[in-house]
Structure 1
Amino acid sequence: MKLPASLRPTALACAGLLSLAAFSPSCILPVSAAAPTASSVSWQEAAGDADIEKAFAQARSEKKPVLLYWGAKWCPPCNQLKATLFNRQDFIEQTRSIVAVHLDGDVPGAQKLGTRFKVRGYPTLILFSNDGQELTRLPGEADAAQVMKVLQLGLAGGRPIKSVLADARAGKKLSANEWKLLGFYSWETDEQQLVPAAQRPALLAQLAAGAQGADAETGTRLWLKALAANEDGKGLKVDAALAERVNKVLASAAEARAQTDALSYGAPEIVRTLAPKAGPERQALLDKYEAALKRLEADASLSRADRLAALSARVELARIDLPKDERHPKLNPALLQEVRDTAARLDKEITDGYERQAVITEAAGLLGLTGQWEQSDALLKSSLTKSHSPYYLMSMLGGNAKKQGRKDEALRWYEEAFNKSEGPATRLQWGATYLAALVELAPQDAARIEKVAGQLFAEAEKDKGAFYERSARSLKKVGTDLQAWNKGGQHEATLGKLRGQLDGVCAKVDTADQQRATCEGLLKPARKG
């Protein structure tokens, strides 16, 4: 993840100035940390192509850009946006000059629209021109004030990010604001629109080098993003100058604050790339990183989620040379106590439902990451009645029990999470998770596995979007797990019955967009050599 993760001029003053070709920066509100108000964003709910076409028709008529927000009720980063960005008065005011469209991943046509717009991960924020060109994807993981700045840069510039990137790669001169758009582009939700994932570290490094003369801060951000994207610790050429640049950021409170999200969410990859092997060089970097993260954790200007992310990064770095599957890592007792104290404090402080869904789930995960399973379970259980999506917490409880070897308890939680989950895409995702747990933890329970798989196929039959995007991936996971369960042919009778059921489902599926082919391939018998 991750995770993980997941945006006005006054209407009268700027009413005639909102075509993207002539958008005036003077019409953009200054960014400020505004207090929440009773007002809210006037999202237009979209459930299909007709709703999207209506939104873009309005955008063309009113010469307004379109902001598309793709999310889900349960998603912690989505809830973080609701708690820190969508309730800001400056964001609310800005969106009065935008056609703001909300695409809930669980509405009937959402997953098909997900295919159209190339969105997968929740949340994704896309800014479009009124003629449908994608201007940029906003970084939902960044500080809310930074996201506001990126939104306003996108509005003021008006050039699609693809055009800006093409000029940057060709060595053409860009403005500082255009470099910022590249630096704050949501590379994590790009979905290979601009670059294949495997090529991203090299591209970001190329951009970082190009940005350096125009905007040093953006150049630094791009370097950090390149290092964070270099997941295997190889492939990027690291020299003394780059290492020194990162050290400088870590030593500067102001520079580290400006790069909070990059430093926190990319910490292990950054360290592994700069110092590939355990030893004095890595330890020196870890010490500097620890000091920088402690400052961020204590920075009251950051949201609770961002401060918790800094603590999470400290834990990840403390575990960097420990076995990955260590259930009870040997960590500094003081760090363990800090994690416990932080989780307890956040549990008492946070009353907003959106913030709880975002932060308390992260705190519970962090307790587990440090091997404090009892405390993690207690926090999740005490939060079930306070969550608007308790099935997310139930699934986490299932994961906790599974990691501790409590198979029956894990399956009970996974089953309850599936039963309580809401929305077609969410139910397929939670059901796929439950089935995977059954195949792994109770492979002998053929009746139960058949029942759950059959229920998922029955629900897919009622959902016209079941073979698009996230839902399709959930069903493909079900098919893969069932095929693996039947690897030796010992459950061929069960799969035969499920194939019969699936044949009936597939016969009703539209042949467009490879939907039927996806359906028919789920349990297709392997070819015999």
Structure 2
Amino acid sequence: MPPPLFFKWPPDPGRLDTRMKLYLSTPRTATAAAALSLAALFCQAPTVHAAAAATSPGVAWQAASADADIEKAFAQARAEKKPVLLYWGAKWCPPCNQLKATLFNRQDFIEQTQAIVPVHIDGDSPGAQKLGTRFMVRGYPTMILFSADGREITRLPGEIDAPQVIKVLQLGLAGGRPVGDVLADAKAGKKLSANEWRLLGFYSWETGESQLVPAAELPALLAQLAAASQGVDAETTTRLWLKALSASNEGKGLKPDAKLADLVHGVLVSPAESRAQMDVLTNGAADIVKTLTPEAGAARTKLLGEFEVALKRLEADTGLSRADRLGALGARLDLARLDTAKTELHPKLSPALVKEVKEAAAKADREITDGYERQAVISSAAYLLGQAGQWKDSDDLLKSSLAKSHSPYYLMSQLGGNAKKQGRKDEALRWYEESFNKSEGPATRLQWGSGYVAALTELAPQDAARIEKTAAQLFSEAAQDKGSFYERSARSLQKVGGSLVKWNADGKHDASIARLKTQLDGICNKVDTADKQRATCEGLLKAPGKKA
């Protein structure tokens, strides 16, 4: 499993930067009326009463696991002249749990969702992965706002705080134009409204699945949009430039530029601006620094100092959620490790920073009682402890949290990762195996199983019997779910196939591969030849460049 990511979704809903203003047109349609309904939520007092939330029935999500469910939801949306909000998530997913802990349980949010048709796709429900292909969603969580006729208005970013979530919803509902049309006009040099520019600035480019632009072209596109938005809305222009810098990692994208350096300096030294751009700064700190200052020197030292001050300020901002404050600390840790190899287990860090990481993790463990928030925060805290070289503390935190987690297999996979990094192969395999055995849901089991197979082929390649048995079990489970060869599940199975092909590169395990291929052929033959997933199935055990 990959290390937990610091999705910034969403922090404490009560904090609102006074610079964030919306300029909404006079409502003349039901969609605009819905926008004003959400605007009312945006302007309400920030107090959230836990008792009220506890007794609330919650958001009236309509579960969808098949095309028929989706068509029913859109038919309702057209009849009621409401937009559709689609939420794609999973039980174990930390940022999904952050949503549940900080936004979905708010009484005012629950009430305001009556102005839309909320649809939930659980990634482990039957047919969910096929729907994922339909909507081009992969990462959990993804939230998409549609017009009643099915046009995608925007994808909501998962890293911004609650007031900004509401802001983006308002912008989408008030404008109503599909983001693809807005982007096309922007690229063609046509005039956009301030709201439309903001919609592009807050679009979830990171979870857009490259549907608007190939990933390799994203830095240049964001820079183009930033330049074109000059003079319309300064905050949006700044956001687009920061996103362009953040996307320009590994030497790809923008080059060092004095004007951009001045722009970043202005954001970092301004409490209001750094707060407004919190999500981009914390998620993209290292990439921004490496883009602006590729080499160590006075310029980089100065920029790192400014980032340190800004990130410390965000870390101390009690208007942000625990996850966001921890994200700011994580960004500081990333910057401290900027010139350290990613594989370095015990980086040279200041004792003060290490102490902060340990104290923040201990405080989170001590204070968080909500199960959703624990799932969102503890995994990230444990990851930071490892990044700080505090492996025992990381292990202890994860182990002590197993009994408190509704998805302990997620934490078990982290324990496996910790052990693997430190060369404790047998321990790593025990945790990977247990995490797979305890995992729940068809898509989740394939994902965790693929991680276990990858670990087995890497750490215990001599254990052919266990490798073959585990792969055969995964293929058998895949045969029980019609969505196994779509989206996340397909990629999990492709990972299994890739691990097996690599394991047998020398041909020593031809017999095992032959038996697995026979099993797989029986599964693939039951898939309709007109269905694209058949080709996916048939390609799982093919070596690159080889024909069937």
Shorter-chain TM band: over 0.9
Give the letter for the 1:134 counterpart. E
Could you say which residue in structure 1 is the equivalent of 2:95?
77
The one of 489, 500, 507 equivalent to 1:471 is 489
Counterpart secondary structure, 1:115: helix
- 1:137-176 pair list within 5 angstroms: 137-176=155-194
Residue 302 of structure 1 aligns to a residue in which SS? coil
* Structure-to-structure mapping, 1:298-447, within 5 angstroms: 298-447=316-465
Q: Could you say which residue in structure 2 is the equivalent of 1:4? A: 6
Higher mean C-alpha deviation, range 225-234 or range 280-289? 225-234
Q: Which residue of structure 2 aligns with residue 13 of structure 1?
A: none
- Contact kept? 1:18, 1:24, Cα under 8 Å: no
- In the aligned structure 1, how far is the partner of 2:387 from the partner of 2:128? 34
**Is this contact kept in 1: 2:255–2:291, CA < 8 A?**
no
Please, which of 298, 306, 311 is the counterpart of residue 293 of structure 1?
A: 311
What are the Cα deviations for residues 38-88 of structure 1, in whole angstroms up to 9, with x where unaligned?
322110011111110100000010000000000000000111111112122
Residue 26 of structure 1 deviates from its aligned partner by 6.7
User: Is residue 2:40 matched to residue 1:29?
Assistant: yes
Check the 8 A contact 2:314/2:328 in 1, yes or no: yes
Contact 1:23–1:158 (Cα < 8 Å) also in 2: no
Report deviation, 1:323.
1.6
**RMSD of Structure 2 on Structure 1 (CA):** 1.7
Identify which of 118, 125, 128 aligns with 1:107: 125
Over 3 Å counting, the alpha-carbon distance change for 1:254 and 1:526 in structure 2 is closer
Relative to structure 1, is the Cα distance of residues 222 and 513 closer, same or farther in structure 2, using a 3 angstrom cutoff? farther
Q: In the alignment, residue 253 of structure 1 is paired with which amino acid?
A: P
Question: What TM-score do the two structures reach when normalised by structure 1?
Answer: 0.96
1:333–1:95 distance in 2 versus 1, CA, 3 Å: same
Question: Which amino acid in 1 is paired with 2:299?
Answer: E
Q: Report if aligned partners of 1:91, 1:148 keep a CA contact under 8 Å in 2.
A: no
Check the 8 A contact 1:77/1:122 in 2, yes or no. Answer: yes
Which of 261, 274, 277 does residue 256 from structure 1 map onto? 274
- Of 510, 524, 529, the residue aligned with 1:492 is 510
Residue 526 to residue 271, structure 1, CA distance change in 2 (3 Å)? closer
Dislocated runs of 4+, deviation >3 Å:
16-28, 525-529
* Contact 1:29–1:90 under 8 Å retained in 2: no
Shift of 1:212: 2.3
Which residue of structure 1 aligns with residue 72 of structure 2?
A: 54
Structure 1 residues 252-295: Cα deviation after superposition (integer angstroms, max 9, x where no partner) = 11110001110000011000000011111111110110110000
Displacement, 1:464? 0.5
- Asked if 2 retains the 8 angstrom alpha-carbon contact of 1:336 and 1:370, the reply is yes
For residues 113-165 of structure 1, what are the alpha-carbon distances to aligned partners after superposition, in whole Å with 9 as ceiling and x for unaligned? 00000000000000000000000000111111111110111111111111111
- Asked if 1 retains the 8 angstrom alpha-carbon contact of 2:371 and 2:404, the reply is yes
- Write the letter of the residue equivalent to 1:444: Q
Distance 1:358 1:24, change over 3 A: closer
* Between 95-104 and 18-27, the greater mean CA deviation after superposition: 18-27
The code of the aligned residue for 1:221 comes to R
Find the aligned partners of 1:422 and 1:360 in 2 and give their Cα distance: 20
Answer whether contact 1:45 1:101 (CA < 8 A) is retained.
yes
Residue number among 102, 109, 116 corresponding to 2:134 in the alignment: 116
Alpha carbons of structure 1 residues 88 and 241: separation in structure 2 relative to 1, 3 Å: same
Distance in 2 (CA, whole Å) between partners of 1:375 and 1:286 is 27
* Residue number in structure 2 paired with 1:10: none
Higher relative contact order (CA 8 A, sep 6+): 2
Q: Which ranges in structure 2 are unaligned for 5 or more consecutive residues?
A: 11-26
Comparing 78-87 and 362-371, the one that deviates more: 78-87
* Counterpart check, 1:519 vs 2:521: no
Aligned CA distance change for structure 1 residues 173 and 527 (closer, same or farther; 3 Å): closer
Preserved CA contact (<8 Å) 2:35 2:169? no
Following superposition, the deviation at residue 525 of structure 1 comes to: 5.2
TM-score by length of 2: 0.92
